[in-house]
Amino acid sequence: MPHDGHDDHSELSPIALRVKALESLLVEKGYVDPAALDVLIDTYETRIGPRNGAKVVAKAWTDPAYAKWLKDDATQAIASLGFTGRQGEHMVALFNTPEIHNMVVCTLCSCYPWPVLGLPPVWYKSPPYRSRAVSDPRGVLKEFGVTLPEKTKISVWDSTAEIRYLVVPLRPANTENLSEEELAGLVNRDSMIGTRLAGRTA
Amino acid sequence: MNGPQDMGGMTGFGPIALEANEPLFHAPWERRALAISLAMGGTRQWNIDMSRHAREKIPPAQYWSLSYYEIWMEGLQRLMAERGLLDGAAKKLPVLAAANVAPALAKGSPYIRATDAKPLFKIGDRVKVRDLHPEGHTRLPGYLRGKTGEVILYHKAHVFPDSNSQGAGENPQHLYAVRFKARDVFGAKNDDDLQADLFEPYLEPA
């Protein structure tokens, strides 16, 4: 808004102004509790994120009984670590193997397992990924720097209902001596979507 | 509806815009947009299927030019306008209080429902996706119409978005993960496969 140089809102873009106006209206009408807005933001900025999912994966890598539970009833196995609720009400875990690599998308909107991965990254919600993850998964993976052997089958999961999918990536080689916590440090967010591999360089 | 959201298999959107060390929010207003969207969900004036449908009704050229939080804001304003919540006197709505945020998020909204109807399909069955073109909201992606696959998971009965989005009740329907061969859907030249979660009314025996 270059002509409003002396206005308080001079540095705000049209969308920022619009959201500010909408928030003011909602507060004025009593539809939202301003303190609740701060708690919501704090929750997703500091409490709920991909470190949660990394704990699930590292536990599955080190504890065969937990891995079996995760395979049989991911919702309960994940809840046992304290990760439950909104956008993760019904969970399924997809275990990568040398033969099968799983990759998750939501072509219709932006469905994503919030309790274990937090808020989705922009690319996950954007047309290039949503359109091509189903039709050209190998080309998509290449953009992430991942090339899998031809004989590894790629299995894409389109989250079209309220089931949320968590990929359990392959455990990197030569990690036998690492603790569960150290292993969790090797689990990057994208490896749990299936667009990267777990490991030190990711 | 055959709207702008149904983009599986489309081409021409360009490369995936990856960012090193991407921030959680790209501008301060995105934080506020997330928070007011979630807080307004707490007023229970609409359900998740209605909010998805509100976003899908944005005209395609506009939808594809907006960022995701801009789509959310456009959808939120449409939901509020349809219910007369933007103009006129304030209505008395349930409000999500700060103290209830953590319990509400931890509880979420489970979608599994009981039904007396027996599931028509079982794991291993071959199914064909019906050629449906509803005018309202649906969770059947267009690229699967007419395709044949195999039921690989049974998720029990869930709230049916096609009904719930119209305010026509939850109308629980059995939900299945169906596996398709990528060569049958997109002409892939390998053995890759593709799964989607599909409600029973979208399917017929193959």
What's the CATH code of the domain at B142? 2.30.30.50
Q: What is the pLDDT of residues A135-177, one digit of tens each?
A: 999 999 999 999 999 999 999 999 999 999 999 999 999 999 9
Does B59 share its domain with B103? yes
Q: What is the pLDDT of residues B39-90, one digit of tens each?
A: 999 999 999 999 999 999 999 999 999 999 999 999 999 999 999 999 989 9
Structure-token pair, residue B13: 């959107």
Q: What is the pLDDT of residues B108-162, one digit of tens each?
A: 999 999 999 999 999 999 999 999 999 999 999 999 999 999 999 999 999 999 9
In a domain, B116, yes or no: no
Exposure string over B106-144, b if 16+ CB within 10 A, otherwise e: bebeebbeeeeeebebeeebebbbeeeeeeebbbbbbbb
Yes or no: say if A84 and A113 are a contact pair by the CB < 8 Å rule. Answer: no
Size of interface A-B (CB pairs under 8 A): 246
Higher per-residue confidence, B57 vs A8: B57
Q: Using CA atoms, how far apart are residues B27 and A191, in angstroms rounded to an integer?
A: 26
> Which 3-state string (H, E, C) describes A11-42?
CCCHHHHHHHHHHHHHHHCCCCCHHHHHHHHH
Inform me whether the pLDDT recorded for B13 exceeds 60: yes
Yes or no: say if A117 and A55 are a contact pair by the CB < 8 Å rule. Answer: no
Structure-token pair, residue B48: 């998740």
In a domain, B19, yes or no: no
B146 Cα to chain A: minimum distance (Å): 16
Q: Which domain holds residue B66?
A: 28-107
Architecture of domain A49-193 in CATH? Answer: Alpha-Beta Complex (3.90)
Q: Using CA atoms, how far apart are residues B31 and B202, in angstroms rounded to an integer?
A: 37
Interface test with B, best of A73, A132, A147, A167 (most B CBs within 10 A): A132
Contact A131 B7 (CB under 8 A): yes
In a domain, B54, yes or no: yes
Contact B194 A126 (CB under 8 A): no
Alpha helices in chain B (DSSP H): 28-41, 48-56, 60-63, 68-82, 98-107, 161-164, 182-186
In a domain, B13, yes or no: no
In a domain, B182, yes or no: yes
Q: Using CA atoms, how far apart are residues B116 and B62, in angstroms rounded to an integer?
A: 43
pLDDT for A9 equals 54
Does B96 share its domain with B156? no
Any residues with CB less than 8 A from the CB of A59 and at least 6 apart, and which?
A66, A81, A180
Does B62 share its domain with B132? no
In a domain, B187, yes or no: yes
Any residues with CB less than 8 A from the CB of A152 and at least 6 apart, and which?
A98, A99, A100, A101
Q: What is the pLDDT of residues A67-126, one digit of tens each?
A: 999 999 999 999 999 999 999 999 999 999 999 999 999 999 999 999 999 999 999 999
First to last CA, chain B: 24
Q: What is the mean pLDDT of residues A188-198?
A: 98
Does B101 share its domain with B131? no
pLDDT for A1 equals 40
pLDDT for B88 equals 87
Structure-token pair, residue A18: 């619009």
Does B188 share its domain with B148? yes
Is this structure's pTM higher than 0.90?
Answer: yes
Interface test with B, best of A20, A23, A40 (most B CBs within 10 A): A40
Interhelix angle B68-82/B28-41, nearest 10 degrees = 40
B53 Cα to chain A: minimum distance (Å): 10
In a domain, B61, yes or no: yes
Yes or no: say if B123 and B152 are a contact pair by the CB < 8 Å rule. Answer: yes
Does B142 share its domain with B200? yes
Structurally, chain B folds into a number of domains equal to 2
Does B185 share its domain with B157? yes
Instruction: Give residue limits of the domains in chain A.
Output: 11-46, 49-193
Q: What is the pLDDT of residues A31-59, one digit of tens each?
A: 999 999 999 999 999 999 999 999 999 99
In a domain, B154, yes or no: yes
Confidence of residue A180 (pLDDT cuts 50, 70, 90): very high
Q: Using CA atoms, how far apart are residues B123 and A154, in angstroms rounded to an integer?
A: 21
Instruction: Residue A49: count other Cβ atoms within 10 Å of its Cβ.
Output: 18
Does B97 share its domain with B130? no
Structure-token pair, residue A53: 């999912």
